[in-house]
Every structure is written in structure tokens, then in C-alpha cells.
Structure 1
């Protein structure tokens, strides 16, 4: 029903407008008595064999929502009803910011992909915290970044602020230095500034009575030498793991008319490259740290391929939009099979 009826209708309208409409619709139907339990009954797969313990946290299943979908922590409770084992919110910045000018989100239907140049649009971390205080039982990751106006040499202060604000309300952190839509942000992936940033956060983290896992989200466009540096940095700083990967600036093999739009590309064209990065990190590190695999998961087979390449968990975003909520259940059922 989703792919034959709902998706064709939604795809007639601007993707960012549709995103907000769908959020509103999901929130509305979840206020109707009995609907949340009905949705859980349709989409959730409850089975002990799906549980995973990764970086000290227990996940009821290995399929999560990638950052960028629920930027402001407005829908995490409802999303969990569709069968996700965890929800990653953000990217959140210390101060609210509008992001880049619209239009900034583009479907590439011929490629089953999306290009976005959102630019960390969010209402600020403090606003999100107020919503997270109402969390009942959803395992939450907090993806944090810097404000656009903050120069790179002061970026560490933005990450510290977001870390402190979110600490009591998320289960793990993700340091995002790999979005292509904030000017010069990816320069923070260079070895020296990245090591400094992660060491600073780890120093704060270790002072806590119960430290939280800190992960690093990396770009798919890194070279093998840069990926080797990432392995060194993870092992040196002692962070909990890596999320591979963010969106790509590559455009190879695209057919859709929107392929020339600037921004980060996600979806099917990213499937193979994100899996390559996962496999490289897992093999070259001797699987010395956990990996969350994300990028181009549109089928259960895509998810299993990433898990077999070395991922411990997977996340959906673009595949969830193109395939619908049944994809989560299909992956979990396939894992059981």
C-alpha cells in the first residue's frame, strides 16, 4: 500500500513540506486511543534473538533511525512504535539555526536517492532537551555538531555545550564532523583537530560517574589513508565506535535530473561505498571497535550485507522514505530467518 498508493501521492509535493506533513500526521494518529498499540502490533518484531549488546548498551533489535530524520527530537517516541530498536536525534547545535535557504532537499527518483543541503537546521539543543525529558523507554543517540557561525578553531566549545546539555537525556553521543553542508566542517576530520576534539570530550566523559559511549560519524569520501587515520584516532582516544557513513559529495553514475544539485547524496547510490568503508574499518582494525552501518539500506539484504561486512547495528533514513515502514519489520524478520 505504501509504495503503490501513499508514496506516489507524497512524491508529488516538495520533499521538505512532505517531511513536516508526515511528522504532523504521525503525531496526530498516535493521539487516537488504541492506534499506538495497533501500529506496534503491525510493525514490531519482538524476539530475544534480535537483541544486541553494543558499547555497553542493550538494543532490542539492531535497526535504528539515522540522524537527520528526527533532528529536533519531536517524533522519537512514535518512531519506536514502527519497530526501530533505537532512534538517533540531531544533528543538534548549541544555538538554534535556520540552516541553508530553501529549496534544499531533492528527490532523485530515478536513482532512489536524496540530495540534501539542509545545513544543520534545528531549534537548538536546549529546546530538544525539553522534549527528551518526556522519553519513556526509547534508546536515544544524540548527534551533535557546531553552529555555522562558529569558526573551526572554536568548534570544540560547541561540542562541549551540546554534550553537557544532552548528557542526562541520551544513551550515546555521535560527533558529527562529516556533513558536507556546513562550510569547512569536514576539515575537522583531519587527524590533529579531530584527535583534539575527541580527547576533549573523552576527558569530560571520564569525569562522569557513568560515562556515555561517544561515537564518530565519518564521510564515505575518505581515502584509505584517511580511514587508517580514523582507526588510529578511535584507538588513541578510546571512543566507543564509528558510524559509517554520512552522505557523499560524489555523483558517479546518477541518472536523475536533480543530480547536479549541491549537497550530500544518500540512498541507493551510497549502498556499495558505505559497505566498503565498513569492511575496511572492520578488517584493518581487527574489529577493535563497534561500527554502526548506514547508507543505502533499501532491502533486508542490504542490511545483512552491512552486518556481514562488520557492522554491529544499522540505521535507516532514505530507504525508510522510499520503502516505507514495512522495511524495518522486513529486516528484523530476515535476520531471524
Structure 2
């Protein structure tokens, strides 16, 4: 469920359902997909979150692949964790966990205008025993788990300490770190500090986990975004002045509000204020996790500017979509790279130049094939194979050469499209070390070169195609020589604005186009090596396969070779287009928009023009082409404002200073 399908199709449908039902349906569907063979690979393929060592970090010795985590409140029973772990998350919070189950049958509500979710009781959870049973099962992902524990509502300080000690002891084998909820602000300060010190002492006495044999589990103080700042500062001073495994502070995502706990955009400013205060008081060494109101990449950057090291997602995934973690990672990576000098581009002959030559070869070959297909149609070796001249074929069936021309012109247009896409991906993708471009080219070329063997399906060897493959194959091999993958240096999208939302429709159109063309290529190839014709073909030819075989017993292999070859080329073209649509669309990627435009024109022009020229205008036969062309045009229109825009600077530079820029504080002692 990437953003281009979530924003356009699934979110409008899910938001018509009650919030809890919509959440359960979504999480169970994602969890079921992740359990299927190849399910997690499919999820990763849809998102293609490229790892980068620049995003790796540590939280009190716990290695994290990404600085973005998942809040425990989004999936309290963990049914979709193995799926969500593929979205670019670096850690997962489990909790809150209490010693006994806390039920709440009241309705969860959405506040759509304010992009918020209202939970009647944010502490509701299945309890310790159910959580342990879940953690004992295979979790299906390697991400570290942050266990958030709290006492039962209404517990006295003594009861709370006993409960949390039990939670620490029983959850220790599964916890990379513990989030310890801050005591109720109504407790006396000294009693709160004594409680936290006792928790830290208990954590240090726990049996050590084999993976962390030299250290007690790291503890992080967890406070909601509306926790009183003065009390938070006092608690921070207390835990920092006393020995213990305290590693930092978490500012959570649920604030008290009318009707329950509010998780949403409104929490960001309050979270940023507390993060800035904590960073000022705690210094650069203390780790800070912020989980309030992150709904777009700019929110995460604001919290990081205020002093957060990590962010957690909850309501943002509901309102923005599952791609939010990836978008935040890309924004953080860009901020990390923007001050550094770009590496020198690889030389023309080191990889990308050879692919450019391959693309140029496809274009030249396609133009020549188009000229031949529109004039003589058949080549001398075709005539030699058949043992018949073109005039004899026309005399036997006046539609035959036109039908063969239609196959060969559409193949020629597809070859030109492939050449344009390959050249663009080589220059702008391989030349800049983009991993997704290399993956797209590798996949498409392997399919394209392998499709040569489809030409042999009916026993016809095409020497021209064989010669072209022999010339182009070394170029592909040379272009794929090992080279370093580099992160993109184009400024990523930071806002969930109208242009971004419209672009999700454009991406949906382009992905659908790639899938439709891929299916079409597979079907054409299958028909080419089996039945050769569809009913509309035979209707146009006014003949049956037996009648055509009676004209010349080698005629069917020749036509089958054309059809299978075109299907294979179309499939290779579709894979390159699909990969670019899935992974390459970014705000300001003007070159890729032009690639979509120029790469699609030759194929559609060839297909529509040759059908009109030979009079093969059966509406049912051309319906898939009309449908594909509609997707192509709509995709270009919806993507134009997003991909052709030039981002002048960070949106934060164009706003009034936020809470992270100037926060008035009372003097505290």
C-alpha cells in the first residue's frame, strides 16, 4: 500500500469506515501479505527504501538502521509489524504494556480537519501475558524493540514500583531498550524521583541478555507532549544526577484532550518545545526521541532542528500514508548531504556511457526497422526463408503484408521507446550512482536480451536480431560493472501539499501504465509462441491459421517470431517504465518527466499510426492501447506541477520561525 495507492484509492475508502474497523482491516491485510511467500519482497519492491550508512546511528549502544521509529499505539497487537518493518523504519515501540489487560470498548474517533485520532484511553493494551506470547513468536523482522511499560491506572507508588519491576524482568529478553513512563505529575516530586531511581536500580540488577552482556538495558524516560515542562526539567535533572542506565527521553504522541487522548498534528509544536528544552538542559550527549505530530517530512526536520535525534510515527501514517518513513529518511539524508561536496561523476566509459550507447543503438535500430516495416516490410532473409516474393504473398492474401507491417512497426516504436528510456536512465541515473536506476536497467535488459529466445519458438532464426543482440549485449555487461551507489542529491518533497497529493494520482497512472504494458507484453509473447493469432487478427486477415499455412508452411513461424519479439520488447520496456514510476518519481525530477513523455511517444505513435494505415481499426483490438494512452496522458498531466517544479529552498525558510527557533522559558532552579 504505497502512498500513490493509499492517498488515491485506499484512504478514501478506509475513511468511510469506523476508525477501529479501518485500522484492523488495514493491519490484518498488511500482516497477511507479509506472511505470504515473497510478500515482504513485494512490499520492499513497492517502496524500495535504499539503505544508507549515513542514516545509521546508535541509541545507547543499540544500532538503528534508520532514525525513524514506529509508535506502539498504531499497531498495539503487532499484527503488521513484519510488513511495517519494510517501510524504512529503524525501530519499533511495543506498548504501553501493563501487568494486566486494559480494555476500552469506547469508539476511536477521527478528527479529519485537524488530522488527529482521538483514543478514549491511550493506555489500553492486551496486558503482559498476551504481549509475552506475541513476543515469543517469530516476529519476522530484525528491528530492535523498545518496550514501553507503565503501572496500572490508580496504582499507589509502591504498587507501581512492584508492577514495573515485574514488567522489566519478564520483558527483558525481548527489549533493546525500555521506555519508562514519567510518574503522574500529581505525585510529589521527591516520590517521583525516588520511583525512577528505584526503577533504574532494578534494571541494573536484571539478568544480562546474551546480546548485551556488558550493560543493563538502556532506559528512556517517556513523557506525553503536554507533560508539564517544569516537572519534566526536574525529572531530567534528577535522573541525570543519579547513577543508572538512563540514556535519554522520549516525548510521546498522545496529549490529553476532550474525550480522550489526542494523537495528531497539533502535538508537534508542544513536542518541539519540550525537545528544545530537553536538548538545552541535557546537552548534546543525551538521546531524544520525539513522537508528536509527525505528518510530513518537514515535521520531522522541525523536531530534529529542535534537538531530537529520532522521531516516531503514529497518526502521520494514517493521514499521509505508509511512505512517510521513507520520505523522512530521504529528507534527513538530503540535509546530511547538502553541506558536503558531491563526488566526481564516473567517467563516460565507466558504466553509464556504455548504457547510453546501448540506448542509442536501440533508437537507431528502431528507426531502421520502422523504415523497412513501412516500405518493403520483409527483408531478403525473410524472403529466402519463405521461398516466396512479397508480390506472391500479396496475391495469396492482400492483407498479409499489412498485418506483418503492423507487428514490425509496433516493434520498431517500442525499440525507440526503450532506447530513449535507457539513455535517460543511464545519463541521469547511472551517471549519478542511483541504485534504483541501475536496478531498473538491469531487470529490463535481462528480460530484453532473454526475449531473443522467443524468436526461436517456432523454429525461425533471425540473423539481424541475433547480430544486434551480439553487438548490444557487451555494452550491457560493461555498463553493469560494479560502481558505488550514491544517494540522490535532488531536494526531496517535504510537504503534504496539493501538488504532492495530485502527484500521487499521477504516480498511480504511471505505475498502472507500467503494469498494463507488462501484462500486455506477456500476453502478446504467450500468444506469439502458442496460438500466434487472436480472433481479431484472423478477422482482419479473412483467414484461418490453416489457410495461412496452406499458402506457405513457413509463414506461421515467421509471423510468430514477429509477435513474440514484439511481446518481449514491450515487456522489457514496461519493466523499465514501471521501475522508474515506482522508485524514481521525486519533486523536481524534471528529467524523469521528460523521460516519460519522450519514452512513450514513439510506441503510441507507431501503434496508432500503423493500425490506421493498414485499416486494422477494430475497436476491441485497440481498446487496450486507448486505455494505456489515457493512463499515459493523465499521468503526465498530474505529475507535471510536481516533477517540473524547482524547489527554491527549504519550506522552513519561508515560514515564520516555529517553536524550535525561539522558545520562551521560565528560569528553573
Same topology, TM > 0.5: yes
Question: C-alpha separation between the residues in 2 aligned to 1:245 and 1:97?
Answer: 19
Question: C-alpha separation between the residues in 2 aligned to 1:320 and 1:296?
Answer: 11
Report the equivalent of 1:120: 123
2:322 paired with 1:325: yes
Report the equivalent of 1:245: 252
Contact 2:157–2:195, Cα closer than 8 Å, also in 1: no
Q: What's the TM-score once normalised by structure 2's chain length? A: 0.46
Report the equivalent of 1:187: 186
Question: C-alpha separation between the residues in 1 aligned to 2:70 and 2:248?
Answer: 17
| 2:9 partner SS | helix
Report the equivalent of 1:206: 204
Question: C-alpha separation between the residues in 1 aligned to 2:35 and 2:229?
Answer: 49
Q: Deviations over 1:110-163 (max 9, x none)?
A: 111112123522222222122223235121010111223634441111111111
- How far did 1:3 drift? 1.6
Q: Which moved more, 1:128-137 or 1:85-94?
A: 128-137
Cα 1:224–1:149 shift into 2, 3 Å? closer
Task: List gaps (5 residues or longer) in structure 2.
Answer: 209-214, 335-669
Q: What's the TM-score once normalised by structure 1's chain length? A: 0.88
Contact 2:148–2:178, Cα closer than 8 Å, also in 1: yes
- How far did 1:79 drift? 1.7
Cα 1:119–1:248 shift into 2, 3 Å? closer
- How far did 1:22 drift? 1.5
Contact 1:126–1:165, Cα closer than 8 Å, also in 2: no
2:41 paired with 1:37: yes
2:106 paired with 1:102: yes
Equivalent residues in 2 for 1:37-116, closer than 5 Å:
37-43=41-47, 44-98=49-103, 100-103=104-107, 105-116=108-119
Contact 1:94–1:147, Cα closer than 8 Å, also in 2: yes
Report the equivalent of 2:286: 289
Question: C-alpha separation between the residues in 2 aligned to 1:223 and 1:20?
Answer: 34
| 1:130 maps to which of 133, 142, 148 | 133
- How far did 1:60 drift? 0.2
Higher relative strand content: 1
2:155 paired with 1:150: yes
Cα 1:157–1:74 shift into 2, 3 Å? farther
- How far did 1:317 drift? 0.2
Higher relative helix content: 2
Question: C-alpha separation between the residues in 2 aligned to 1:227 and 1:31?
Answer: 42
Question: C-alpha separation between the residues in 2 aligned to 1:224 and 1:170?
Answer: 28
Report the equivalent of 2:269: 272
| 1:301 maps to which of 290, 298, 301 | 298
Contact 1:116–1:265, Cα closer than 8 Å, also in 2: yes
Q: Which moved more, 1:277-286 or 1:64-73?
A: 64-73
Q: Deviations over 1:18-57 (max 9, x none)?
A: 2222121111112322121121233333111110112111
Contact 2:253–2:267, Cα closer than 8 Å, also in 1: no
| 1:235 maps to which of 232, 240, 244 | 240
Question: C-alpha separation between the residues in 2 aligned to 1:172 and 1:298?
Answer: 25
- How far did 1:214 drift? 0.8
Q: Which moved more, 1:212-221 or 1:193-202?
A: 193-202
Counting matched residue pairs gives 318
Q: Which moved more, 1:229-238 or 1:307-316?
A: 229-238
Question: C-alpha separation between the residues in 2 aligned to 1:97 and 1:272?
Answer: 30
- How far did 1:246 drift? 3.8
2:165 paired with 1:160: yes
| 1:26 maps to which of 14, 27, 30 | 30
Contact 2:122–2:254, Cα closer than 8 Å, also in 1: no
Cα 1:60–1:119 shift into 2, 3 Å? closer
Task: Name the Cα RMSD after superposition.
Answer: 1.9
- How far did 1:91 drift? 0.7
Contact 1:73–1:132, Cα closer than 8 Å, also in 2: no
Task: List gaps (5 residues or longer) in structure 1.
Answer: 179-184, 251-260
Question: C-alpha separation between the residues in 1 aligned to 2:37 and 2:226?
Answer: 46
Question: C-alpha separation between the residues in 2 aligned to 1:64 and 1:229?
Answer: 27
Q: Deviations over 1:186-207 (max 9, x none)?
A: 535x522322222122112222
Contact 1:282–1:288, Cα closer than 8 Å, also in 2: no
| 1:324 partner SS | coil
From the CA coordinates, give the structure whose radius of gyration is larger.
Answer: 2
Question: C-alpha separation between the residues in 2 aligned to 1:77 and 1:21?
Answer: 16
Q: Deviations over 1:276-297 (max 9, x none)?
A: 1101110123235210011111
Which structure has the higher relative contact order (CA within 8 Å, separation 6+)?
1
- How far did 1:325 drift? 0.6
Contact 2:252–2:290, Cα closer than 8 Å, also in 1: yes
| 1:235 partner SS | helix
Report the equivalent of 1:253: none
Question: C-alpha separation between the residues in 2 aligned to 1:293 and 1:53?
Answer: 16
| 1:187 partner SS | coil
2:21 paired with 1:17: yes
Cα 1:123–1:228 shift into 2, 3 Å? closer
